[in-house]
Amino acid sequence: MSSADGTAGSSLGRVSGESAAYPLHGSVGDFGTERGAGVADEAIGYRGPTACAAAGITYRQLDYWARTGLVEPSVRPAYGSGTQRLYSFRDVVVLKIVKRFLDTGVALQNIRAAVQHLRARGFSDLERMTLMSDGATVYECSSPDEVVSLLQGGQGVFGIAVGVVWRDVEAALSQLHGERVDTGETLVGHNPQDELARRRRDRAV
């Protein structure tokens, strides 16, 4: 099995009857067809500024990653100056993961392989996945035993629990505006600060 940087690498042995963690390879695919609920619903898209706010990145980063093909909007690309990119919920999860990898110094070509791998996995796979990296290779782990095995073997230096990122993005987007893909209707997120302000106004009347 090839490693994320394109060099040859072997998968780890089995641990406690579980399938072993393995280096990510650049298999290109699409997310599974499962539909999420709420902000994760694939019928809802998010504009660039909203995606940036939820992923914790700048618009300049978002634009550069889209133009270089690192993370492109799967709902609607920008066709020209008059169109707005529209990102899916899972696009935003990937954006946040890319940001974390970059912050820890993982090479861009390895991040590209990880992004391709994430896009090939379904909803339930992502929720229980942990991505580990030693800075040179990115590994997928789907059980605590696999994480321990990597750490004991010296490969894993840091990890990203995709399920945790998923929930962070879900919480952030629930307070921001989305857009229905079919009708273009703006969906207003629930902002606790807005609700508090409304209650204060009601009391003042």
What pLDDT sits at residue 200? 53
- Confidence band for 22, pLDDT divided at 50, 70 and 90: very low
pLDDT by residue (tens digit) across 73-113?
999 887 766 678 999 999 999 999 999 999 988 888 888 88
Contacts of 71 (CB under 8 A, 6+ apart): 65, 91, 94, 95, 98, 115
Task: Encode pLDDT of 119-154 as tens digits.
Answer: 887 766 777 788 888 777 788 887 788 888 877 776
Can you give the pLDDT at residue 35?
A: 35
The pLDDT value recorded for residue 155 is 62
Average pLDDT in the chain: 74
pLDDT at residue 26 in the model? 39
State residue 96's pLDDT score: 96
